[in-house]
Amino acid sequence: MQTKLFKAATKRVALLLVIASGALIQGCGFHVRTAELGSLGFSSVNFECDQAEHWQLCQSLERELKAHKVTMDDDATFTLSIDSASSTERAFTINLDASADEYEITRLVKFTFSEANNTKSKYSNEINARRIYRHNSDALLAKEREKTTLTKALDKSIAREIIRQLTLIRIGANDAG
């Protein structure tokens, strides 16, 4: 009888601790790091991305820009261009029979953000993202679907990272002289 009461009391205390921890974290201002909407410092951009070659990445980046209330305009002061994007796939873990058990997909994207009137104001960077997935040689169609899904997720992740980096830079702000 005492053991049941002790277990019930322990569960209540654990629940209270979880709730108190959540309230403490919420109260101290903790939040997941993402780019704040409307925090880019520009309202329009000339977006250059080869849709034929990098369709999913271009679409993800366009969605992110629109979510931040940025319009696409060929005559905009700032230009965001996707210079290159590449994907590689390799065996990540090998079974005892030398067949691949897991694969790693790596996506590398190089981009440039520049100001039209100022050749000195230019920010270039490359972003690397990767995902690992299990390979089942009996389910080749499922493997291709999973690879496609992971590539889309990588492109979305890279688009969010580009936006995050754009919130941190201030091109032209220090070029007054």
The tens digit of pLDDT for each residue in 76-93 reads: 999 999 999 999 999 888
Residue 149 has pLDDT above 50, yes or no: yes
Q: How far apart are CA 159 and CA 61, in angstroms?
A: 5
Question: How confident is the model at residue 176, as a pLDDT?
Answer: 37
Q: What is the mean pLDDT of residues 113-120?
A: 85
In this model, does residue 36 exceed pLDDT 60? no
Sign (positive/negative) of CA torsion 152, 157, 162, 166? positive
Q: What average pLDDT does the segment 59-82 reach?
A: 94
Answer with the residue of higher pLDDT: 139 or 114: 114
pTM greater than 0.85 (yes/no): no
pLDDT at 6 over 80: no
More confident residue, 34 or 117: 117
What local confidence, expressed as pLDDT, does residue 31 receive?
45
Nearest to 83 by CA among 127, 130, 129, 149: 127
CA distance 158 to 84: 13
Phi, psi of 28 (to 5 degrees): -85, 0
For 98-111, how does the pLDDT look when each residue is reduced to its tens digit (9 = 90+)?
888 888 999 999 99
